[in-house]
């Protein structure tokens, strides 16, 4: 899976992508992430990415043409691409959507808006899939892009080793415990439930079902 990130702050995603599981997936060439700074696709001498909204109102709107040029470049490096536009009014992201995308596409192009949004002609021309990651308003699309990359990538077979199959085929625990077996905190003792130390798998599954 190849992810293309179109943003005015592409740097802001890098530290997360260079950590832990996603870093390993990139190193193992299971995924690739390409960045496109919208500013690089502007044609005026000040590299202006935004302008005032027609009809008035607060804030600035990201101009259509640099975004369209960036998407064109991403498309030229793609095979079967889905173009995602982030908006709180979009379709709710879920594991089901993650699996559909993983199954149908080789490339996902994320358009990360900011300020008061992106000129509406971008979504009209590109017929984007408009996605929301929850019922709250964020300042931009970079965090939603990371959320989608993380959720899709961890479902690619092999990325989690057998952790995902263990998680989904066995009874996953909502309450994990690790060492030490007991500790004291503010005068109280906290111990791991006995059954988890029994080595009795049927009983452990029963206990986890009860959670």
Binding interface with ligand ADE (CB under 6 A): 86-88, 132-134, 136-138, 141, 144
| Residue 140 beta carbon to ligand ADE: minimum distance, rounded to whole angstroms | 7
Nearer to ligand ADE, 92 or 106 (CB): 92
Q: Rounded CA gap, 109 and 152, in Å? A: 13
| Residue 93 beta carbon to ligand ADE: minimum distance, rounded to whole angstroms | 8
Nearer to ligand ADE, 66 or 144 (CB): 144
Nearer to ligand ADE, 140 or 171 (CB): 140
Of all residues in the shown chain, the one whose CB is closest to ligand ADE is 86
Q: Rounded CA gap, 152 and 204, in Å? A: 30
From 78, 88, 101, select the one nearest 6 (Cα to Cα): 78
| Residue 92 beta carbon to ligand ADE: minimum distance, rounded to whole angstroms | 9
Nearer to ligand ADE, 84 or 159 (CB): 84
Burial of 76 (0-12, 13-18, 19+ CB in 10 A): exposed
Nearer to ligand ADE, 144 or 159 (CB): 144
Angle at the Cα of 121 from the Cα atoms of 144 and 3, rounded to 5 degrees: 35
DSSP 3-state of 43: coil
Q: Rounded CA gap, 6 and 84, in Å? A: 10
| Residue 111 beta carbon to ligand ADE: minimum distance, rounded to whole angstroms | 10
| Residue 133 beta carbon to ligand ADE: minimum distance, rounded to whole angstroms | 4
- Residues 4 and 78 sit within 8 Å (Cβ to Cβ): yes
């Amino acid at each position: 899976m190849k992810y293309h990130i179109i943003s005015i702050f592409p740097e802001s995603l890098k530290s997360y992508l260079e950590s832990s599981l996603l870093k390993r997936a990139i190193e193992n060439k299971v995924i690739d992430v390409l960045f496109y700074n919208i500013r690089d696709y502007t044609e005026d001498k000040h590299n202006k990415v935004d302008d005032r909204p027609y009809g008035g109102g607060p804030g600035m709107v990201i101009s259509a043409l640099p975004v369209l040029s960036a998407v064109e470049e991403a498309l030229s490096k793609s095979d079967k691409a889905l173009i995602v536009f982030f908006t709180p009014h979009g379709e709710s992201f879920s594991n089901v959507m993650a699996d559909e995308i993983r199954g149908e596409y080789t490339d996902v192009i994320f358009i990360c808006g900011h300020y008061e949004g992106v000129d509406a002609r971008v979504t009209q021309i590109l017929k984007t899939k408009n996605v929301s990651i929850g019922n709250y308003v964020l300042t931009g699309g970079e965090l939603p892009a990371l959320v989608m990359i993380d959720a899709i990538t961890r479902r690619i077979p092999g990325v989690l080793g057998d952790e995902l199959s263990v998680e989904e085929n066995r009874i996953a625990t909502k309450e994990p415990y690790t060492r030490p077996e007991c500790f004291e905190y503010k005068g109280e003792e906290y111990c791991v439930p006995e059954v988890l130390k029994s080595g009795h798998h049927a009983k452990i599954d029963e206990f986890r079902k009860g959670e």
